[in-house]
Chain A
Amino acid sequence: MITPASEAISLKPDPTERPRYLPNDELPDEPLVIIQPSNLWQFFSLREIWAYRELLYFLTWRDFKVRYKQTFFGVAWVILQPVLWTVIFTVFLGSLVRVPTGGVPYPLLVYSGLLPWIFFSSAILGSAQSLVGNANLITKVYFPRVLTPAAFVAGRLVDFAISCSILALLIVYYRLVLNYPIPLSWNLAALPLMVILLVLLALAFGILASCLNVKYRDVGVALPVLMQLWMFISPVVYPAGLVPEKWRMLYCLNPLVGVIQGFRAAVLNETFPLFALGISAVFTIVLLGGAAFIFRQTEKTFADNI
C-alpha cells in the first residue's frame, strides 16, 4: 500500500567511483587570482574592469530598463524632466524676472544648462545609493565594486544622450523658424571633450559618495539638500557672466562652472571659459584619484559593513 521512499533525488553513479584527480596539464603556470590582504597603495585594476565590461553593460542596462519599466510615460520622462524645468524657469526667470542672458534666448540657455546639471545631480544621487542598494550583489558575488556607481553614471549618460536630441531640435528650431543665428562652428568639435569632463567629474563624486554612504548613511540624506544648493551656485539657470567680476575667481572654484559653461559654449557657439575649464579639469583629476583611493580603502570591508 505504501510506496517506498520516492526516488526523487536519484543521483548518478557514486562519485567515489570516478577518477579522483584529473590531469592538470592545462592549468596555467601563474595563478589567475591570488587572494591576500590588499596593500595600501592599490588602485583600480583597469585590466580587471575591462574584463568585467559585460557586467558593466548589464548593470547599466538593468538600471535604465527598471527605471522606466512601470512608469506610464516610460522613457519619455527622460525628455519630460528637463523640458518641464525649462518651461518653468522660462516663465518665471526668463519672462518675469528677465534674467539678463547676453542675447541668448532664455529657453536655450536654461535647457543647455539643465542637461549637464540633471545628468550630474542624478548620477551622483543615484551612485550614492548604488552600493547600499546593491547589497545583495555585493555580499554574494565578486566583481570590481566600482562597477556599481559606474553603471549608475553610465545609465544616466543614456538619459543625457536622449535629452541632447531635444537640444538639437531646439537649436534647429531657433535657427530655421526664429532665424536666431547659431552658426555651426568648430566649437561643436569640443563637445565630446566637455561631455568626457562632465562624466569624469560625476564619476569622481559618485564613487566618493557611494563608498562614504556605506559607512555613513548621513551622506544619502544630506546629498539631496546639498545638490539643490549646488544648482544655484552653478550657472544652470543663469549665465556665468552674471556673476560680478570680483567674485568670478571664487565662483570658478566650483568645478561645475567650467563644465556647464564649456558645454554651453560648445553647443551655443560662445567663447570657452578656459580658466574655469582648467580648474574643472585639475579638480576632476585630483578628485578622481582621491575618490579611487578612498574607494579602494573601504572596498574590502563593504561586504562586512553593508
Chain B
Amino acid sequence: MRPIIEAQNLSKRYRIGAVRPPYQTLRESLTNAVRIPFRRRGTGSPPRHETIWALKEVGFDVRRGEAVGIIGRNGAGKSTLLKVLSRITEPTSGRAKIYGRVGSLLEVGTGFHHELTGRENIFLNGAIIGMKRAEIQRKFDEIVAFSEVEKFIDTPVKWYSSGMYLRLAFSVAAHFEPEILIIDEILAVGDARFQGKCLNKMQDVGQQGRTVLFVSHNTSAITRLCPRAICLDHGRIVGDGPSSQVVSAYLSAGLGTTAERVWPDPTAAPGDHAVRLSAVRVLTEAGDVTGALDIRMPVGLELEYEVLEPGHVLVPNYQVFNEDGVHVFSVRESDPNWDGRVRPTGRYVSTAWLPGNFLSEGTFLVGAAISTMNPVIVHCLERDAVAFQVIDSIDGDSARGDYGGPMPGVVRPKLRWTTRQITERPVLATVGAGEIAR
C-alpha cells in the first residue's frame, strides 16, 4: 500500500551567524561586498562551524488515517520537521511526496485581527489556514456554536476575553478538515474543558480517515491520541514505532526536558545582540540542581545570562506550565536593586524562589525569557527550558495531610484555616424529633 506521506532523507541546515540580528543593513552588505569583491556571497557551502543541521536525513512513511505523534526535546528538530512538511520553509536536501491536502495548525488564530469581528475573523482565519470559502460558510453556524461566543460574534475580537478569543480560534481549527493535519503544541492553551472538547472533535475527524501529525511535549496526550510515535534527537530519528514504546524509551533515555539546560556555545544560545542565555537550572534551597522536589520545599529557578550590550533595562521572566499545558503563572524579576535600572555588560545570575507548599504535585515546564518592558522587546525566549517534578509524599504536614487520594488543581497551597466552635448545642438538637422524621 502506498503511504500518504513519503519522506526521504529530509535535511535542513540553518546558518547560525555570530551575535547579530538575522537581517542585515544595506551598509553591511555593501561593505562586505567591497571587502570580499571576488567571493560570491550567500552561495556555496558556508564554513562548517557556522551551520547546524536541524534535520538530518529524516525518512519515514505515514499511511492514510494514521495518527503519528512526534516527540523529542527542545531543538531536536520537531518544529523544523513540521515547518518543512507544511512548506513554510524549504529543506536543504531530500524530498517528501505528499498525496493529500495538507493543513497545518502551528498555532491557533493565525491572522486574527483585533479590529475585525468574530464573524470576520472566522472567514479570514479559515481562508488563511486553507479552508475554502464555501466550506467556511457551510460550517459557520457549527463553528460559532462550538466556540460558545454566539452573542459576541459581531463584536470586534479586541473586546473578547482571552478565553473567548482562544475558544473562537480553536473552533475554526477544530472544524478544519484537510486530509493531512499537522498540529504543533496548539493544545497547550485554553481551559482544560475546552481542550478536551477540541481533542474529541479532532478525533472524530481522525476516525473518518484523516491523517494527523502531532507534536507535543505532553507525552501522555501523545500516547492517548497517536498509536504511533516518532522520536527525534539532534535532527535524527531515534525511535519510530508504537507510541507507548517510543515514549517510554524517550523518557528513560532522559531525552525529555531536564532540570538543567546549559548553552556552552554563546553563538548557539537563545538571545540577541543585547543578551544571551547561558543556563537555566532548577535548584533546591541548598543550591543543588534537581529535577524532583518535595512539595514543602522552595524551588529556585536560576537564570544565567550574559549582557552583551549596555543600556537595556532587562527583566528576566518565567512562564510556568503544568504537564497538561495549563499556564500556571508568569513571573518577572522583582529585585528592588535592579528595578528599572539598566544592566551593565557582564555575566548575571537571577534566581526566582517559588515558596514551598505552592505548586501542586506533577511535572512543571518552565519557559525562560529576558525582556525589556515598555515597550516590550523579548530579547530571548526559550520555551520549556527546564522541567521539574513536584512530589507530595504523605508525611502529614503538606497541604494533603494524611489523605492519599487524588487532589486536583494546579496549585496546592497550605492555607491558614480557622475553625471555632460557636455553641455546644447543634441547631438540630433544638428541633423536635417529629420534624426530622417529616
Which residues on A are within 8 Å of B, measured CB to CB?
2-6, 8-12, 14-16, 18-24, 27-28, 31-38, 54-55, 57-58, 61-62, 65-66, 69-70, 136-143, 214-219, 300-301, 303-306
The reply to whether B88 and A9 contact each other, CB–CB distance below 8 Å, is no
Q: Which 8 A-B pairs have the closest CB atoms?
A: A22-B65, A9-B196, A31-B97, A36-B95, A142-B87, A8-B192, A58-B127, A35-B96
Is residue B128 within 8 Å, beta carbon to beta carbon, of the partner chain? Answer: yes
Contact of B91 among A15, A37, A55, A61 (CB under 8 A): A37
How far is A183 from B99 in the complex, measured between Cα atoms in Å?
A: 60
The reply to whether A15 and B67 contact each other, CB–CB distance below 8 Å, is yes
Contact of B84 among A5, A22, A27, A35 (CB under 8 A): A35
Chain B, residues 167-200, CB within 8 Å of chain A (1/0): the string is: 0000000000000000000000000110110011
The reply to whether B89 and A54 contact each other, CB–CB distance below 8 Å, is no
Instruction: Report B377 CB to chain A, min CB distance, Å.
Output: 15
> Which chain B positions have C-beta within 8 A of A11?
196, 199-200, 203, 224-225
Given A20-B227, A58-B127, A142-B87: A32 and B405 interface contact (C-beta under 8 Å): no
How far is A54 from B85 in the complex, measured between Cα atoms in Å?
A: 23
Is residue B4 within 8 Å, beta carbon to beta carbon, of the partner chain? Answer: yes
Provide 23 A-B residue pairs closer than 8 Å at the C-beta atoms, listed in order of the A residue: A5-B406, A8-B195, A9-B192, A10-B196, A11-B200, A15-B224, A20-B63, A22-B64, A27-B100, A35-B84, A35-B91, A37-B91, A37-B92, A141-B106, A141-B129, A143-B130, A215-B24, A216-B24, A217-B23, A218-B25, A218-B27, A303-B89, A305-B22
The reply to whether B113 and A217 contact each other, CB–CB distance below 8 Å, is no
Instruction: Report B357 CB to chain A, min CB distance, Å.
Output: 17
Is residue B124 within 8 Å, beta carbon to beta carbon, of the partner chain? Answer: yes
The reply to whether A4 and B405 contact each other, CB–CB distance below 8 Å, is yes
Given A62-B116, A65-B120, A141-B110: A24 and B1 interface contact (C-beta under 8 Å): yes
Given A5-B408, A142-B87: A305 and B132 interface contact (C-beta under 8 Å): no
Q: Please indicate which of the listed interface residues A10, A54, A65, A137 has the most CB atoms of chain B within 10 Å of its own CB.
A: A54
> Which chain B positions have C-beta within 8 A of A15?
67, 203, 206, 224-227
Is residue B26 within 8 Å, beta carbon to beta carbon, of the partner chain? Answer: yes
> Which chain A positions have C-beta within 8 A of B99?
24, 27-28, 31-32
> Which chain A positions have C-beta within 8 A of B225?
11, 15
Given A214-B23, A218-B25, A303-B89: A66 and B116 interface contact (C-beta under 8 Å): yes
> Which chain B positions have C-beta within 8 A of A20?
63, 65-66, 227
The reply to whether A8 and B193 contact each other, CB–CB distance below 8 Å, is yes
How far is A228 from B96 in the complex, measured between Cα atoms in Å?
A: 48
> Which chain B positions have C-beta within 8 A of A138?
88
Instruction: Report B414 CB to chain A, min CB distance, Å.
Output: 15
Given A22-B209, A34-B97: A137 and B195 interface contact (C-beta under 8 Å): no
The reply to whether B192 and A140 contact each other, CB–CB distance below 8 Å, is no
Is residue B302 within 8 Å, beta carbon to beta carbon, of the partner chain? Answer: no
Per DSSP, are chain A's interface residues mostly helix, strand or loop, or mixed? loop
The reply to whether A36 and B106 contact each other, CB–CB distance below 8 Å, is no
The reply to whether A21 and B207 contact each other, CB–CB distance below 8 Å, is no
Given A4-B405, A10-B196: A24 and B207 interface contact (C-beta under 8 Å): no
> Which chain B positions have C-beta within 8 A of A31?
6, 97-99
Total residue contacts A-B, CB cutoff 8 A: 182
How far is A10 from B199 in the complex, measured between Cα atoms in Å?
A: 9
> Which chain B positions have C-beta within 8 A of A303?
83, 88-89
> Which chain A positions have C-beta within 8 A of B95?
34-36
Instruction: Report B340 CB to chain A, min CB distance, Å.
Output: 29
How far is A19 from B107 in the complex, measured between Cα atoms in Å?
A: 29
11 extra A-B contacts, CB within 8 A, seeds A24-B1, A62-B111: A11-B200, A12-B204, A21-B63, A27-B4, A34-B95, A35-B10, A35-B87, A37-B91, A55-B128, A66-B115, A141-B86
Instruction: Report A288 CB to chain B, min CB distance, Å.
Output: 23
How far is A37 from B200 in the complex, measured between Cα atoms in Å?
A: 37
The reply to whether B88 and A12 contact each other, CB–CB distance below 8 Å, is no
> Which chain B positions have C-beta within 8 A of A36?
90-91, 94-96
The reply to whether B195 and A33 contact each other, CB–CB distance below 8 Å, is no
How far is A15 from B130 in the complex, measured between Cα atoms in Å?
A: 27
> Which chain A positions have C-beta within 8 A of B227?
15-16, 20
The reply to whether B98 and A33 contact each other, CB–CB distance below 8 Å, is yes
Name B408's closest neighbour in chain A (CB-CB): A5
Name B14's closest neighbour in chain A (CB-CB): A304
Instruction: Report B320 CB to chain A, min CB distance, Å.
Output: 20
How far is A75 from B292 in the complex, measured between Cα atoms in Å?
A: 60
Contact of A54 among B10, B104, B133, B209 (CB under 8 A): B133
> Which chain A positions have C-beta within 8 A of B204?
12
The reply to whether A21 and B64 contact each other, CB–CB distance below 8 Å, is yes
How far is A65 from B209 in the complex, measured between Cα atoms in Å?
A: 38
> Which chain B positions have C-beta within 8 A of A65?
115-116, 120
Name B83's closest neighbour in chain A (CB-CB): A303
How far is A24 from B22 in the complex, measured between Cα atoms in Å?
A: 43
Name B28's closest neighbour in chain A (CB-CB): A216
Given A2-B405, A33-B102: A19 and B128 interface contact (C-beta under 8 Å): no
Contact of B25 among A23, A69, A216 (CB under 8 A): A216
Instruction: Report B272 CB to chain A, min CB distance, Å.
Output: 14
Q: Please indicate which of the listed interface residues A5, A23, A58 has the most CB atoms of chain B within 10 Å of its own CB.
A: A58
Given A2-B406, A20-B66: A55 and B127 interface contact (C-beta under 8 Å): yes
> Which chain A positions have C-beta within 8 A of B195?
8-9
Is residue B345 within 8 Å, beta carbon to beta carbon, of the partner chain? Answer: no
Q: Please indicate which of the listed interface residues A10, A24, A217 has the most CB atoms of chain B within 10 Å of its own CB.
A: A24
Instruction: Report B67 CB to chain A, min CB distance, Å.
Output: 6
How far is A139 from B110 in the complex, measured between Cα atoms in Å?
A: 10
Is residue B403 within 8 Å, beta carbon to beta carbon, of the partner chain? Answer: yes
Name B125's closest neighbour in chain A (CB-CB): A58
How far is A249 from B203 in the complex, measured between Cα atoms in Å?
A: 68
Instruction: Report A54 CB to chain B, min CB distance, Å.
Output: 5
Is residue B263 within 8 Å, beta carbon to beta carbon, of the partner chain? Answer: no
Name B112's closest neighbour in chain A (CB-CB): A136
Is residue B123 within 8 Å, beta carbon to beta carbon, of the partner chain? Answer: yes
